[in-house]
Homo-oligomer: A and B are copies of this chain.
Amino acid sequence: MRTREAILHAAAEVMDEFGFAGASITKIAERAGTTTGAMYFHFKSKEGLAQAVMNAQPETIVPRLESAGLQRLVDITLVWAWRLQVDPLLRAGVRLAVEQGAFGLQDDTSFREWVGIMEGCLNEAREQGELLASVRPSEVAEFVVGACTGSQLHSQLTSGRGDLPERMVRMWRLLLPGVAVPAVVDRISLDVERGRLR
């Protein structure tokens, strides 16, 4: 693993566990097996490191998918919900994105990236005739990103995120009738296990 990557993963582990305020640069350098000097060479500040962790989220999900269109969008949310149980980079990324106001950041990059990725799935869904005529891909993508963010926080508070995959299935049961043509609503698989093994 290259040094930059090692630092990024160490920072994610420490920030997932202790939050931004509790994650000292020394603790992160120790965990990465490097010096604080190397850290400042790769990331200008602790804030810069937190931003890099937040913005690494999509990389941990998107390469794992094979489906297309609306099924791909569903699968992104399921894989995300399962990976959030175990992947420190994703866990820290989501935690920091939600809590960033507490340490003075206001960075919507990760939200915009997720919206872009989901809009891509929805544009593909439109081309394949999966969407209702009234649906705008950008609006659905914006809403799903917000709904996933909030469901994640709620799930974290009530079950340590354990019920998040089930919450995603329930979200799609409610949303699909307003998004997809009836034949596609019936065809989309909402098996919660889809996301687990990928």
Contacts and interface: CB of A to CB of B under 8 A. Distances in A.
Nearest to A136: B170
A95 B101 contact: yes
Copies of this chain, tallied across the complex: 2
A168 to B, nearest CB: 10
B95 A98 contact: no
Interface string A153-172: 11111100000000100110
Nearest to A160: B106
A55 to B, nearest CB: 13
A154 B158 contact: no
B157 A151 contact: no
Interface size class of A (residues with CB under 8 A): 35 or more
A122 to B, nearest CB: 12
A143 interface: yes
Interface string A103-117: 100111001000000
A155 B155 CA distance: 20
Contacts of A155: 146
Interface stretch (A3-11, A80-88, A176-184): A176-184
A25 interface: no
Contacts of A147: 143, 146-147, 150-151
A148 interface: yes
Given A98-B98, A167-B143, A106 B153 contact: no
29 contacts: A19-B102, A21-B21, A21-B102, A21-B103, A98-B99, A98-B101, A98-B153, A99-B99, A107-B157, A111-B154, A111-B157, A142-B154, A143-B147, A143-B151, A145-B150, A145-B154, A146-B147, A146-B151, A146-B167, A149-B149, A149-B150, A150-B150, A150-B151, A173-B178, A174-B175, A174-B178, A175-B175, A176-B178, A177-B177
